[in-house]
Structure 1
């Protein structure tokens, strides 16, 4: 399964897919929506960017922390949160939202089948290899890795944009999305899938905002604006001098403007058991985001929410 070395024609095809996409792209969004408050912003950002994105499906991803009793409960709560967001955006959910995995991968070769993984396989195989489906993952990549393991042919039909791990310069990559499912993370890094890697610490950690900014920028601007203010307000008990990273919007901002999200081609890192990286210059290339220009990203997001106003 692992494509750790260069692979000729597929390498050239992968490099073509890793170029910044021009025009409107087709995408699906895989999200652990109830885990944090940033997923709600990312889902909203994607759906309010029809000039660049055609969102074909939303997948609920598993998570396990203080907000869930296990990955199955986390996935179900994420599914329900997606429905709440769609209701406030007045977007129909029928045939658009899919439940994902109820557990993490047991190893790096065994998929966990789910409605989300099956839909991704079907949707990817129906895509022209020259017009790939972008798979944007902002949680543990269990659903995406499962789809790859279920049908490796989709490697030729998709580009994965994954928010996970930390910057390649960071001393460790012990980040929530990656730690939740190390096997799925390794599938994403090792399979050879065209990958845009969007790290957390040291890169998307620039995307800080505060309750006063959120209130002033989108409070009173429609049901979704008020809901996002509410979500932000209840995430912390004392907002005096407090700011929070809205990590996941980086994956959507990647499509908006190449200059906002500088990136470069690097060899896919090797994920070690201790959540550190090793590097091998014979491994396949991926695109890694190096920095996020915070202000234009938030300006774009806030402007789209203000213009929606429903």
Structure 2
């Protein structure tokens, strides 16, 4: 046996052993033809870190960064939301402006398209599936139609799934060409019970239900799993200062805008790292909630949070980045 086959054999053995230790199935998706990041970037902190990580790790496969809204009932009840005045607030526009700023800071604005998304949810407050066409939904359709039948467009969604679902409603034939990775909802693997009372899902329950009912390959990062990845503010700011540069400044200032928050759960970053480094997460194929069309979707049931944190900083602090 030559050296190369032995290395491949050992790698497969280690991969199998990891899966046995986790006690669950680890889904390894194929390489996408293209990646679109769809983010409600203006909502909080972790979206920016997820985007920065994906831009570094996925490289030229990221073809676009689209903006999502983060409309929620608190905007009607309180004067401020995460550092913004809620008077006349336009949440998608906040995400869009921040996306453009982030791409400039990362030096990606010339090859990663940046477009606005829908400003409101699919359907209405009482239900429905009327799409919300936007530049984002049109771009998703455009990129999916480009593909051959054996190719896939991966859409990584860190906010409500309004934009990708609007694209599917507008052009149902693209469904088999999409793989959607979404952060939202909750799932108890021991009881096999779903809970949709989560921020992203609440912001467009109609779209989330539509996606569950569709034929799209779907991977969900539940809130209760993602919250395990926590970054302390002081340590994070110190490491960003060590790297320096426009991107680090952008990430640092974003945290400062939200006030004296001493630690933050990096929900969206957990999804991004699980996507790029599947060995750091466990996925299981489970049935959709009973109120939805019964089919199987992929759900992350565990992550290695310390390893994810190290993976982010090893990537970000690398002299090559």
Answer whether TM exceeds 0.5 for this pair. yes
SS at match of 2:247: helix
Return the offset for 1:145: 0.8
Q: 2:317 aligns with which of 301, 306, 310?
A: 306
1:288 aligns with 2:299: yes
CA distance in 1, matches of 2:160, 2:85: 14
Return the offset for 1:261: 1.2
Q: 2:69 is matched with which residue?
A: 62
What's the TM-score once normalised by structure 2's chain length? 0.79
SS at match of 1:259: helix
**Higher normalized helix content (fraction of residues):** 2
1:178 aligns with 2:201: yes
Q: 2:54 is matched with which residue?
A: 46
State how 1:120-159 maps to structure 2 within 5 Å. 120-159=140-179
State how 1:17-166 maps to structure 2 within 5 Å. 19-23=27-31, 26-50=34-58, 54-64=61-71, 65=75, 66=81, 67=84, 69=86, 73-92=90-109, 96-106=113-123, 107-166=127-186
Which structure has the larger Rg over C-alpha atoms? Answer: 2
What's the TM-score once normalised by structure 1's chain length? 0.82
1:215 aligns with 2:237: yes
- Which deviates more from structure 2 when the two are superposed, residues 299-308 or residues 253-262? 299-308
Q: 1:274 is matched with which residue?
A: none
**What CA RMSD, in Å, does the superposition of the two structures yield over aligned residues?**
2.5
Q: How many residues align?
A: 279
CA contact (8 A) 2:36 2:66 kept: yes
Flag structure 1 segments of 5+ consecutive residues without an equivalent. 1-17, 271-277
Return the offset for 1:70: 8.6
1:263 aligns with 2:286: no
Shift of the 109–68 alpha-carbon distance from structure 1 to 2, 3 Å rule, reads: farther
CA contact (8 A) 1:32 1:78 kept: yes
